[in-house]
Structure 1
Amino acid sequence: MLKLRVDVFVVEQTCPYPELDGHDGECQHLRLIENGELIACARLWRPTPDVVPRIGRVAVSPNHRGKRLGDALIRESIAACEALYPGEAIEISAQSHLQKFYGSFGFERTSEEYLEDGIPHVNMVRRG
């Protein structure tokens, strides 16, 4: 998973940032695997007293794009959050150009645009 995330977020998006942030151990991880190859992944943050569940590090292998794997991954991420944390809202920090994509799953923009590692993002939430 780390290799796919670095390949997508650091190399492909030419965005040097600390991908190894020390939080993977406290998160749930979803993986889509085809013929033994990791083709997509996402990281699910557990809620804390002041933070609702969150979906992050959503990545699809460049060799497998155009197959609607992102749709499947987000549907499964939402289903996992709902099963683990019923009734809770779900947050995501979305790259700005993906607002319509996440909006199609019920996420609504909740912030002004901001730069995260030099890439425009917005916060979005899906109400529980």
Structure 2
Amino acid sequence: MMQQPELIIKNTTELTPSELLTIMQERTKVFVVEQNCAYQEIDDADFNAKHVYLKSENHLLAYTRIIADNDDNYVRFGRVLVPIAYRKNSYGRQIVSATIAEINRLYPDKMIKIGAQNYLRQFYESFGFKAVSDVYLEDNIPHIDMILDGGH
């Protein structure tokens, strides 16, 4: 039986090489291989991202990244994943809750904006997100823009 998951929040420059490689490996597995989607998964946003993840022992259980743009009233998060072996354990709900809490702590006056995969719309609505766009294709996957008004 695995130990209680540990929540870790680090800037890219604080990650060890092993942590960074584990995160990039899991992201590529889910967003490129599993979703059969060829695109630049590791991008410029990763240089200044804040990485939020749950781990137990040496296993990554769930992950998101926070991106704070300086040009608007929003903070974004994305790349939300739970590796196949750990799905159905509520780790997705835990990581999104922790990510929202961290954004509200760091940026209490900003709204949170996400580009959610459309099939997860109800999941994000359960956190209070509201759809603000029509469904659109991003890398051939239906997405919808959603906003959470700063946890207010």
TM-score, length basis structure 2: 0.82
Find runs of 4+ consecutive structure 1 residues off by over 2 angstroms.
none
Q: Is the 8 A contact 2:73 2:111 kept in 1?
A: no
- Aligned partner of 1:33 among 41, 51, 55: 55
- RMSD value over aligned CA atoms? 0.9
Identical aligned residues as a percent:
40
Task: Name the SS for the 1:14 alignment partner.
Answer: coil
Q: 2:130 aligns with which of 93, 108, 120?
A: 108
Q: 2:79 aligns with which of 57, 80, 83?
A: 57
Distance 2:103 2:36 in 1: 30
When the two structures are superposed, what TM-score results if normalisation uses the length of structure 1? 0.96
What is the CA-CA distance between 1:51 and the residue it aligns to?
5.0
Equivalent position SS for 1:39:
strand
Residue 99 of structure 2 is aligned to residue 83 of structure 1: no
Higher-Rg member (1/2):
2
Q: Give structure 1 stretches of 5+ with no counterpart.
A: none
Size of the alignment, in residue pairs? Answer: 128
Indicate the larger mover: 106-115 or 35-44. 35-44
Deviations 1:5-40 (A, max 9, x none): 000010111111111212112111101111111121
Residue 126 (str. 1) matches residue 145 (str. 2): no
Inter-partner Cα distance in structure 2 for 1:35 and 1:86: 32
Unaligned runs of 5+ in 2: 1-22
The residue that corresponds to 1:98 in the other structure is 120
2:108 aligned partner, one-letter code? P
